[in-house]
Amino acid sequence: MEEPLRTLVVGMIGGGLMGMIFIGHLALVLVFNPPQSLKDRAVESSVTKLFTIASIVIYLSWNMLAIFMAFAAQALLTGDDPHISIAPSPAYLFVVVFVTLFLAIPAFVFFRDRKNHLLGELALFIGVFGFLIPNMVVAVQYG
């Protein structure tokens, strides 16, 4: 398999994983503790179409972001002999953590009542995008 195609597959795997976990977590949060506006809307009409469309858009968005990040991880790999480690590219990991922290600040303002859920998703994001994707890129490239 060609190298860009392998990187594309790595991104799709990471994005699929993140998308499935995110949608499942979001569904559980909305079922067990829905916001008042959603409760009001559910009484007057069905929200099935809204959730279906939102799930598709969220899943595809995570995949597109992960594909982009897989190519970024490949571009930022340093050294002639990268190996699977905690952080095969420290520069890439720094960018992921910085962007996560930068986006976390407004997220904590908007989702004050769901801080634990947000912390879990941010930790998952750093795990998948900061550690899993670059290690998979190294694995398919040099393994």
pLDDT digits (tens, 9 = 90+) for 69-122: 999 999 888 666 666 678 888 889 999 999 999 999 998 898 888 889 999 999
Q: Could you tell me which residues come within 8 angstroms of residue 26 by beta carbon, excluding any fewer than 6 positions away?
A: 58
52-75 confidence digits (pLDDT tens): 899 999 999 999 999 999 999 998
Number of domains in the chain: 1
Alpha helices in 33-132 (DSSP H): 36-44, 48-76, 90-110, 115-125
**Backbone phi, psi, residue 88, to 5°:** -65, -25
Question: What per-residue string of b and e applies to 106-129 under the rule 16 or more CB within 10 Å gives b?
Answer: ebeeeeeebeeebeebbeebbebb
Residue 27 tokens, joined: 């569904």
DSSP secondary structure code for residue 113 in this structure: G
Q: What domain range includes position 73?
A: 3-142
pTM equals 0.87
Q: Could you tell me which residues come within 8 angstroms of residue 16 by beta carbon, excluding any fewer than 6 positions away?
A: 59, 62, 63, 66
